[in-house]
Structure 1
Amino acid sequence: MNNSNKNVNKMIKISLLVAIAVVLMYFDFPIIPLFPWLKIDLSEVPALMGGFAYGPVAGGAIVILKVLLRFLIKGTETGFIGELANIIVGLALVVPAAWIYNRNKSKKTAIIGMIIGGIVMELLGIVANVYFLLPAYGMQMAPAELSQYVIVGLLPFNGLKALIVGIITYLLYKKVSVAIFKVDSKFNDSKNQIA
């Protein structure tokens, strides 16, 4: 297969991952009753799988494209603040995880990458919410309310989302990496097994 065909094949697969991610965005649900606008969906799973297969730029592109495509289909109920939050948090998880994994593909680096991505997602999610997203949405919170939102809302929400997305990606990626992406996940390489 020449480079042109490989690029077309790669773009088709990335487009498919974007489409799957858009569909998954429709299956969202709140998990913290106190903050019903914090809704979990699994649309970062295809983005993370694309990032593992094709690198952090592809993973980041899937995150951005899924949000833009859903916006074009459904519009916005949040003045694009919710969509921007989804992009920020999705990029924070997917890009570091894919970058770490693609430097040395193994089970160990996949797990380390997803843990680092989860930590970056937690930190960036808090900073973005406190200093940009909440003020842009017009939500003014007293310091005590803001602390409660961060501790009871954002930390468990982003942590649980990163955990769920990471586990599902880990379980699925090995199965689809060779069959669909035509890349070796290196998950079977004995020297890369986790001790």
Structure 2
Amino acid sequence: MKSADKHRKIIRAATKVFAKKGFFNARISDVAKEAKVADGTIYLYFNNKFDILLSVFEQEVGKLIEHIGQLLEKESDPQKKLTLFVMLHLEEMKKNRYLAEVIHVELRQTSKLVKEYRKNKFNEYLNIISSIITLGQETGVFRSDIRPEIARQLIFGALDEISIFYTEVSSQYSIEEISSQISNIMQTGLLA
């Protein structure tokens, strides 16, 4: 197996293990077992468990940034961009429920460690929301008295909670309906 493939395999395994056991309770051997590699193989790719967690954020959130960024580029209307962002986020979290759980739990429990991390992809992901808000303000669609950095936390917080609710329960609502509800509620407060 190529080293890039093995690296991805370990990341996927770690995401699943961290989601099920939690970062602090998970052991390197749990990740190795899930990835079907020897414990020592993990250390060929990662320095320690925290390095694996950061790599989960870098790789998985990096993929989200790339995918969502490409689709948002095609849209110019800030309201439609925000609705699209909400829907794409929920779709991705439904597809990767382990990532949804890791983001939901580990960003809170290990937040001090993650905040100290300099190349924070997660912050880059949140900045997508800020840029949509800023665009809406520049075009006169969104209120100018809203602070984009506060709005992004509010919007992401709602998405994070809904993502967990949606992935844990076979929801009676479609992603489209949930996206529409969230977007309508958020945009009612944002509209100029």
**TM score, norm. by length of structure 2:** 0.40
By percentage of residues, which structure has more helix?
A: 2
**TM score, norm. by length of structure 1:** 0.40
